[in-house]
Amino acid sequence: MNISPKTAEGQDIPSMNTKCGDLRFVFVDEIEATGADILGELDNHVRHHMSNQSRFKFDWITDEMGRHLKAAASRSFGGANVIFLGDFWQLSPTGQIAIMSDPYALKVQGSAKANDIMRMFWRPKHESSLRAWPDGKRVLHLTRNE
């Protein structure tokens, strides 16, 4: 018999919460075939189901001693490390907003989820954008196949 975990009040805990409880890495392969809307949906689901007790979920406001005072904002993908793999020179996703399309297009502006994802990829000054590596680059471009 499969018994689902329960809260202190006896309510069932959604299985997705259990699955996201220890989530640290998300790998998205063939990123060029994944639309911005789908990535936005994934981001929302992971943020929603990641435990608020996770030390990675929030950007924290700290005092001068480095102690966490309060959570400032939920991080993209609930603080999980997301690795996108793919080739932007391939075909665009069918019926979706392509990651490699114009981030300021009307279709992007008309979808909150797609707009958030496009900001993350293409607007480096935005708070949710991908963090730059120490050399200032945001994308690792591999040129040699071994």
pLDDT bracket for residue 63 (50, 70, 90): confident
Domain ranges of the chain: 22-122
- Judged against a pLDDT cut of 70, whether residue 28 lies above it is answered with yes
Q: What is the pLDDT of residue 117?
A: 87
Give mean pLDDT, residues 66-71: 66
Of residues 126 and 52, more confidence is placed in: 52
The answer to which of 26-40, 50-64, 87-101 has the lowest mean pLDDT is 50-64
Residue 54: name the closest of 76, 73, 77, 79 by CA.
79
Output the pTM of the full model: 0.68
User: Do the beta carbons of residue 86 and residue 30 sit within 8 Å?
Assistant: yes
**Sign of the four-CA dihedral 127, 44, 7, 25:** negative
How many whole angstroms separate alpha carbon 128 and alpha carbon 81? 14
User: Which has the higher per-residue pLDDT, 122 or 129?
Assistant: 122
